[in-house]
Structure 1
Amino acid sequence: MVNHDGNILQEDSTFLNHQNRGLRYGDALFETLRAVNGKLIFWEDHYLRLMASMRILRMEIPMDFTMEFLEDQIQQTLDASTSGQTASRVRLSVFRKKGGLYLPKTNDVSFVIETTPLKHSFFVLNEGSYEVELFKDFYVASDMLSNLKTNNRIINIVGSIFAKENEYQNCLLLNKAKSVIEALNGNIFLVKGMHVKTPPLQDGCIDGVIRRKLIELLGKLDDYELEEASVSPFELQKADEIFITNSIVGIQPITKYRKKTFNKAVARDLLGKLNAAARFS
């Protein structure tokens, strides 16, 4: 089932057309989050990020677009869609209403909510192999727009095709200064001893919710030292661990980059703490 502006529709319903600005110009934002037994994990963080992103893109935020309203709309969609599963992936898309060319006729918005089932209620560490490579065909701009979850994801699409063609599980993206900023589907963290490093937002990475949560968690742990700083490709092979974070998998350890293999101990430890934080979010 799909929720379009508060109307619950069948998945095969035709409710968008060629005039949709998200389709035409990528004039859209989205949030992807987990729902477990009807509870939206880290919902406040997702909501606040969405509101901040809408302001940056000069979208008109409706008066009824409160955290409670959107949570209720998501819950209605889950109630209509679920068939006994306890965990779901939720995608909330917001796009400017149709009209105009590059200059919109209106800044008013519509929304679409989609849900799909997930296997696990909470984040589970992938114990399998996970090899990555740098994607160097195109580069990400180091500006505020790159921090947003917009529909402009063409680099991620082409990079995903490159990864599949070369039998990698993922690729790491670079900015125009040739610094590593993120993976195709999430933020990255490097571990050396008990030192944890992640690229800063100024380098152009997505302002990820799980990234925020891990930074918050690491700031409270005496055992770890956190650093937000640019990451050179040369640092990748010097790390003990590298892992990817996003709102669906939580933490995904990278096991191989070129000739270097990596551990998972810190990823496993932090995933446990992240699950604990999710339970009380």
Structure 2
Amino acid sequence: MINYNGSLVSNSEITLHQNRGFLYGDAVFETIKVLDGKVLFLEDHYFRLMASMRIVRMEIPMNFTLEYFEEQILNLVREMGVSPSFRVRFSVFRKPGGFYLPTTNDVEFIVAVEPLEVAMYSFDSKAYEVELFKDFYVTKQLLSSIKSNNKLVQITGSIFAYENGYENCLLMNDERNVVEALQSNLFMLIGSKLVTPPVSDGCLNGVMRKQILAIALKMEGLEVVEESISPFDLQKADELFLTNVIKGIQPITKYRKKEYKTEFAAGLLKKLNAQVRLG
């Protein structure tokens, strides 16, 4: 079951050879977590989707309000059953027509959901080794900060990680600074300083990234900065961890010969869960 343009259907009957999201990657999307019937970080997801649509010159329908966005998600979640938590993908794509130049900027959307095995954010202390992915780079530009269907860097990086026994890869921009992981933002703790790359370096403007920054800024004795991270900086870190809205916080335990602590990330996750419960 999916939500296609506001209707709950088992099949959208979209013709792939005419769909611009399939043909040209002419689509933007949000990956969202629903917990106990509530869309987590609703406003952040909605406003990022609206910003993404504006950046790629899609026409935003007049009825596409925050309330409408939430309703389309929850209507489908309620239809899907009793699981306490769901992963939601809300995809928006231009209507068919044209080649690189579309014949219209009007849009359609699809919402798809799947249940999650773990409802609350949980701390995973298992070994989690990463490596740099050097075959392709993230371009330092505005399009890199949004979630679009153009994910070939992340796909080829995921294959590289799988083939070489890594849990994840870290991506670099064209200035050879580390900007993010394949599906997550990156944070680095050095002493009492927490660092994450700025969006201007080409990383995704992550919703969970925003939550973690807000929580960290309230912690006493912690300096929180957004600045470029070089591969050399990774070797100096006490902790490295990744963030996204589905997993929450994923600590990195090893990069090359360096092994990392996880205590700060574990404490941060507790604060995140407390915020989610209160929200």
Q: State if a TM-score over 0.5 links the two structures.
A: yes
Residue equivalent to 1:196: 194
Tell me by how many angstroms 1:204 deviates.
0.2
5 Å-filtered alignment, 1:221-240, equals: 221-240=219-238
> Which amino acid letter does the alignment assign opposite residue 105 of structure 1?
T
**Equivalent residue, structure 1, for 2:175:** 177
1:115 equivalenced with 2:113 (yes/no): yes
Counterpart CA distance in 2 for 1:225 and 1:123 is 25
Q: Distance in 2 between matches of 1:157 and 1:109?
A: 26
Structure 1 counterpart of 2:184, which letter? G
- What SS does the corresponding residue of 1:30 show, helix, strand or coil? strand
Distance 1:223 1:229, change over 3 A: same
TM-score (normalised: structure 1): 0.97
Q: Secondary structure at the match of 1:104?
A: coil
Gaps (5+ residues) in structure 2?
A: none
Q: Is the 8 A contact 2:133 2:169 kept in 1?
A: yes
The residue aligned with 1:3 is: 3
SS at the partner of 2:219? Answer: coil
Provide the rounded CA distance (Å) in 2 between the counterparts of 1:13 and 1:51: 23
Q: Which residue of 2 aligns with 1:260?
A: 258
Query: Which residue is equivalent to 1:163?
Result: 161
For 1:280 and 1:114, locate their aligned partners in 2 and report how far apart those are by CA, in whole Å.
Answer: 27
Q: Which moved more, 1:30-39 or 1:268-277?
A: 268-277
C-alpha change, 1:16 and 1:251, in structure 2 (3 Å) is farther
Report the equivalent of 2:69: 70
Could you tell me which residue of structure 1 aligns to residue 205 of structure 2?
A: 207
Cα displacement string for residues 113-148 of structure 1 (whole angstroms, at most 9, x for unaligned residues): 010111122110111110000000011110111001
Counterpart position of 1:43: 42
Question: What is the CA–CA distance in structure 2 between the aligned matches of 1:227 and 1:209, rounded to whole Å?
Answer: 17
- CA shift, 1:224, in A, is 1.4
| Per-residue CA distance 1:49-108 (angstroms, 9 max, x = gap) | 1111111111100011011111111111111112x2111101100111111111111111
Structure 2: how far apart are the matches of 1:51 and 1:276? Answer: 28
- Quote the sequence identity (%): 52
Q: CA deviation at 1:37?
A: 1.2
Query: What SS class does the counterpart of residue 78 from structure 1 fall into?
Result: helix
What is the aligned counterpart of 2:128 among 110, 115, 130? 130
**Structure 2-normalised TM-score?**
0.98
Partner residue in 2 for 1:21: 20
Q: State the distance in 2 between where 1:194 and 1:269 align.
A: 14
Deviation at 1:260, TM superposition (A): 0.7
Q: Could you say which residue in structure 2 is the equivalent of 1:34?
A: 33
Structure 1: unaligned runs, 5 residues or longer: none
- Residue in structure 2 matched with residue 55 of structure 1 by the alignment: 54
| AA of the residue aligned to 1:266 | F
What amino acid is aligned across from residue 122 of structure 1 in structure 2?
A: M
Counterpart Cα distance in 1 of 2:45 and 2:221: 28
CA contact (8 A) 2:4 2:12 kept: no
Secondary structure at the residue paired with 1:234?
Answer: helix
Alpha-carbon distance in structure 1 between the residues aligned to 2:12 and 2:202: 37
Q: What amino acid is the match of 2:106?
A: D
Q: Structure 1 residues 15-24 or 234-243, which shifts more?
A: 15-24
Which runs of structure 1 show a deviation greater than 4 angstroms over 4 or more consecutive aligned residues? none
Cα pair 2:60 2:107 within 8 Å, conserved: yes
1:35 and 1:160 map into 2 onto residues whose CA distance is 26
Q: CA deviation at 1:234?
A: 0.5
Q: Distance in 2 between matches of 1:277 and 1:109?
A: 35
2:227 and 2:125 map into 1 onto residues whose CA distance is: 28
- SS of 1:51's partner is helix
Q: Secondary structure at the match of 1:159?
A: helix
Matched, 1:106 2:107: no
Give per-residue Cα distances to partners, 1:159-207, cap 9 Å, x unaligned: 0000000000000000010000000011000001221000011110000
